[in-house]
């Protein structure tokens, strides 16, 4: 089993330079990923697009991709950008 790669999203995406999420995702390719959204204060469309594409790619490869510790502002950002606030929530299988 591969090691899980962990990344904590910053409160907001830096307006200058590359978002640290990009090199993290590139370095974690082909491995399980957990991303904490605990500190997110603002979710913008670019960061959401990165997360959506990464989630789709990891799932297509059959590799675990999780976003955890979602702050209320993360859910609000999803809704503001047109997604269900629980879009990244994993369904529990019983």
Q: Where are the domains of the chain?
A: 5-80
- Write out pLDDT tens, residues 28-87: 999 999 999 999 999 999 999 999 999 999 999 999 999 999 999 999 999 999 999 999
Look at residue 93 and tell me whether its pLDDT is greater than 50: no
DSSP run (H or E) holding 57:
helix 45-60
- Write out pLDDT tens, residues 12-25: 987 777 889 999 99
| pTM assigned to the model | 0.88
From the options 3.30.930, 3.40.50, 2.40.128, 3.30.750, give the CATH code of 5-80: 3.30.750
Start-to-end CA distance of the chain, whole Å, equals: 23
Give me the pLDDT at residue 87, please: 92
């Amino acid at each position: 089993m591969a090691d899980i790669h962990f990344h904590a999203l910053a409160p907001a995406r830096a307006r200058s330079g590359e978002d640290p999420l990009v090199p993290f995702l590139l370095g974690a390719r082909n491995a399980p990923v957990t991303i904490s959204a605990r500190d997110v204060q603002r979710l913008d469309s670019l960061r959401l697009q990165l997360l959506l594409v990464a989630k789709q790619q990891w799932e297509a490869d059959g590799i675990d991709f999780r976003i955890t510790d979602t702050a209320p502002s993360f859910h609000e950002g999803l809704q503001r950008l047109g997604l269900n606030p629980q879009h990244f929530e994993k369904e529990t299988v019983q």
